[in-house]
Amino acid sequence: MRPPAVRLPGLPEQVTVYEVGPRDGLQNEPVVVPLETKLELIARLVRAGLRAVEVTSLVRPDAVPQLADADELLARLPLTPGVRHPVLVANLPSLDRALTMGVREIALFASATESFAKRNLNRSRAESLGVFGQVARRALREGLSVRGYISMCFGDPWEGDVDPAEVVGVATELFAMGCSELSLGDTTGVATPGAVRALLSRLVDAGVGLGALAVHFHDTYGQALANTVEALRSGVSTVDASVGGLGGCPFARSATGNLATEDLVFQLDGLGVATGVDLAALVRTSLWLARQLDRPSPSRTVQALATEFGP
């Protein structure tokens, strides 16, 4: 079934769905996924109409073993005109690898909190931002685009509630480095729409343009779609999501799955917001991936449409 398309006032005409499944989704899988499966997943996502697919991470293989095949994946990845294939990098050596592999867009992963910076990046927040500044400056000199992530924007397992001023401070530093897009992460899924609106308002007050922001909601408490609508009403038009709702964060145990791309596209179709994504092809991709992972997809939309679009 398809949702009835009824627009709500204040929503954008079009939304960019930024797919993080091949990187953020798979990185938390306990069993290593074969390279051929990863390449097929990316190809299926592109055929489904996604135009921004984050493909892998060039961090140390021992830190994220699932993505230890990043160099080989990039060497074999076909480039499709008009499709972004960002790659996460952590420092100058990983940027060197990205340049060697011909990467044209990188992503940097910062933290709003001191505790998570130390656990995830093994540096203080200030130290990590210093490293990212070096990476961004060199990447820009080489003609690359730079996306920034801020994790723990609403709540931190070790520090509790996060002061929006801390997020604003990190955001302004990342933009000053030259990031063209900044994704706000609800890593533990604790945000509700009021908190989303409050943070976005603080960022606007600090001079941050909403057109340069994306949102990245985890669905730990079932709030991701409600938070997405609030972000869109506030003026954001790029939303991160993960095929089949895969993912989490290997460095924060309370961070469960990402917002499922299928659930997002189903909602946006019902709101009359264009995404360019073929929901049927996307559901088929998730059903195929669930078979590769030998477990059902957590996406409610995939479950509901499995009979219609499977196998």
Q: What is the DSSP string of 59-114?
A: S-TTTSGGGTTHHHHHHHPPP-TT-B--EE--SHHHHHHHHHTT--EEEEEEESSH
**21 token code pair:** 């499944």
Beta bridge partners, 297, equal none
Rg of the chain (C-alpha set): 18
Q: Which pairing describes strands 155-156 and 160-161: parallel, antiparallel, or unpaired? A: antiparallel
- Residue 128 has phi, psi (to 5 degrees) of -65, -40
Among 249, 268, 290, 302, the one annotated catalytic: 249
Amino acid type, 244:
G
Total Cβ atoms within 10 A of residue 169: 15
Q: Where are the beta strands (DSSP E) in the chain?
A: 16-19, 56-57, 87-88, 105-111, 145-151, 155-156, 160-161, 181-186, 213-217, 238-241
153 assigned to active site: no
110 strand-pairing partners: 150
CA dihedral (207, 240, 68, 125) in degrees, to 10, reads 30
Residues annotated as part of the active site: 249
